[in-house]
Structure 1
Amino acid sequence: MKVGLIGFGRTGKSVASVLLESDATALQWVIRGSANPERKSAADCLGVTSDNPALIFGRDEIAMDSLLDRHPVDVIIDFSSADGLDLYAREAGQRGIAIISAISQYPEERVEQLRALAEHTQVLWSPNITIGINFLILAAKILKQIAPEADIAIIEEHFAAKPETSGTARVIAETLDQCSDDIKSIRAGGIVGRHEILFGFPYQTVRLSHESIAREAFGNGVLFAAKNLLARDKGFYSMQDLMEPYVYERPDG
Structure 2
Amino acid sequence: MEFIMIRLGVSGALGKMGARVLSLASQDKDFRVILALERLSHPQIGEKIAGAEVVCDREMIKDIDCLVDFTAPEAALINIEYCLKFKKAIVVGTTGFLQEQKDRIDAASKKIPIVLSPNMSIGVNLLFQLVRDTAVRLPSDYKINITEAHHSHKKDAPSGTAKFLAQIVKEERIEADVDIKSIREGEIVGDHEVVFDSPWDTIKLSHSAKTRDIFAKGALEAARFLVKKKSGIYCMEDVLKKGKNGD
Same fold by TM-score greater than 0.5: yes
Alpha carbons of structure 1 residues 203 and 35: separation in structure 2 relative to 1, 3 Å: closer
2: CA distance, partners of 1:73 / 1:204: 52
1:137, distance to aligned residue in structure 2 (A): 0.8
Q: Give the structure 2 partner of residue 206 of structure 1.
A: 203
Q: Give the paired residue count.
A: 232
- CA displacement, residues 179-233 of structure 1 (integer Å, 9 cap, x when unaligned): 56x1122333221110011233565433221111122222111122122233433
- CA displacement, residues 98-151 of structure 1 (integer Å, 9 cap, x when unaligned): 111111111222211111110011111112222211221122112222335343
- Determine which of 52, 55, 59 is the counterpart of 1:54: 52
2: CA distance, partners of 1:159 / 1:39: 28
- Determine which of 228, 235, 247 is the counterpart of 1:238: 235
Q: Which residues of structure 2 form unaligned runs of 5+?
A: 1-5, 171-175
Larger mean CA deviation between 98-107 and 19-28 belongs to 19-28
- CA displacement, residues 13-43 of structure 1 (integer Å, 9 cap, x when unaligned): 1222112122222111111113578732112
Q: Give the structure 2 partner of residue 41 of structure 1.
A: 48
Larger mean CA deviation between 75-84 and 186-195 belongs to 186-195
2: CA distance, partners of 1:148 / 1:20: 49
- Determine which of 180, 193, 197 is the counterpart of 1:196: 193
- Determine which of 91, 102, 105 is the counterpart of 1:100: 91
The letter of the residue matching 1:173 is A
Alpha carbons of structure 1 residues 141 and 160: separation in structure 2 relative to 1, 3 Å: same
Q: 1:141-152 alignment to 2 at 5 Å?
A: 141-147=132-138, 149=140, 150-152=142-144
Identity %: 27
1: CA distance, partners of 2:45 / 2:204: 49
1: CA distance, partners of 2:168 / 2:243: 20
Answer yes or no: is the 8 Å Cα contact 2:144–2:177 preserved in 1.
no
Alpha carbons of structure 1 residues 179 and 41: separation in structure 2 relative to 1, 3 Å: farther
Q: Which residues of structure 1 form unaligned runs of 5+?
A: 44-52
Alpha carbons of structure 1 residues 39 and 120: separation in structure 2 relative to 1, 3 Å: same
1: CA distance, partners of 2:228 / 2:43: 34
Answer yes or no: is the 8 Å Cα contact 1:126–1:239 preserved in 2.
yes
Alpha carbons of structure 1 residues 174 and 17: separation in structure 2 relative to 1, 3 Å: same
- TM-score scaled to structure 2, two decimals? 0.82
1: CA distance, partners of 2:217 / 2:188: 19
Alpha carbons of structure 1 residues 27 and 214: separation in structure 2 relative to 1, 3 Å: same
1: CA distance, partners of 2:143 / 2:101: 33
Larger mean CA deviation between 227-236 and 122-131 belongs to 227-236
The letter of the residue matching 2:112 is T
Larger mean CA deviation between 217-226 and 28-37 belongs to 28-37
The letter of the residue matching 2:11 is I
Q: Give the structure 1 partner of residue 173 of structure 2.
A: none
Runs of 4+, deviation exceeding 4 Å: 35-38, 201-204, 244-247
Q: Give the structure 2 partner of residue 46 of structure 1.
A: none
1:75, distance to aligned residue in structure 2 (A): 0.8
- CA displacement, residues 50-106 of structure 1 (integer Å, 9 cap, x when unaligned): xxx422103xxx3x33x144xx21111111111123543233124331111111111
1: CA distance, partners of 2:55 / 2:229: 30
Answer yes or no: is the 8 Å Cα contact 2:146–2:181 preserved in 1.
yes
